[in-house]
Amino acid sequence: MTATTYLQWVADGQPWKPATPVADLRDTLQRHGFTVYVLGDESHQKAQPPEDHVPYSHTPWPGKQPYPYVLAMDVMPNGDLSLDKLGAQLVKDKNAGVSGVHGLKYLNWTDSNGNCWHESWQPKHARESSDDRGHLHLSWRTDFVTSTSAAGYDPVARVKGIDVALTDEEWASLQIAAYRIKAIQDNTPTIVYGVNARTKKPFHATEPNELAVALAAQAKAIEDLKNAGTSVVLDPATLKAALLDPQVLAALGAATAGALAEYHLSKE
């Protein structure tokens, strides 16, 4: 049974569960001392029309209501950060494409000047005044109901400067660099880009490991000289020329980027 009204929901036993990003962000904010409500009280449950604090919402977007999930949360002003700063960070991160709030549909919040705003992304960003004061209200998109995009996202830590979340594009770039350094470390002739750890989708790409190819060519040239009975002396000029080879320099650059990638991925 899929309930679409309060009475149907009661008859169905009042089932509900938080959408995955709602649960993930709720848990993070609770660790910072905030009280977070997901399922609405009786006034929400009997409201006409019912909205996102109940599992039979009549205001889902962009798809149908995923019964019995609840796609909203209210954050109360009792945590270790003021709600105006928290709200401003959420808006900033949403507009910057930070994955932790990719699924945010709209936010009601009050800024440091006392202005109350309804910020929505359905799909473009729009702002209008609101009278929903005293807390933060967040509603999520239906197509993110089971998304893990908010796992590990901590807007409080970001305000305090102790966390830097990456956009999907930044994450992909760093992961590609990590695949490059791995290929260089293993001295494999081809870099095989596997699966994006965040999206779980394959990169569908390979490319030559230029450093391995250049070093293999140098090794072959030396071996050929040895086989021909030629004495091999690696004087400084020869070594300098080898290191200034454009392919070697490019590969070493990739290695440096990869080292940075591994550091950032270990922090993500």
Q: Could you tell me whether strands 202-208 and 125-129 are parallel, antiparallel, or unpaired per DSSP bridges?
A: unpaired
> How far apart are the C-alpha atoms of 16 and 95, rounded to whole Å?
30
For 177-214, what is each residue's pLDDT tens digit? 888 888 888 888 888 888 876 667 788 788 888 878 87
Q: Distance between the two ends of the chain, CA-based, in angstroms? A: 41
- Mean pLDDT, all residues of the chain: 85
Examine the pLDDT at 265 and tell me if it is beyond 50: no
Q: What is the pTM of this model?
A: 0.64
Distance CA 15, CA 45 (A): 12
CA 9 remoteness from chain centre: 34
Which of 95-104, 164-173, 180-189, 203-212 tops mean pLDDT? 95-104
pLDDT of 20-53, one tens digit each? Answer: 999 999 999 999 999 999 999 999 999 999 999 9
pLDDT tier for residue 267 given thresholds of 50, 70 and 90:
very low
List C-alpha distances in Å: 251 to 139, 164, 214, 219: 46, 28, 9, 17
Lowest-confidence region among 14-23, 44-53, 78-87, 236-245: 236-245
How far apart CA 158 and CA 96 sit, in angstroms, is 13
Residue 239, pLDDT score: 56
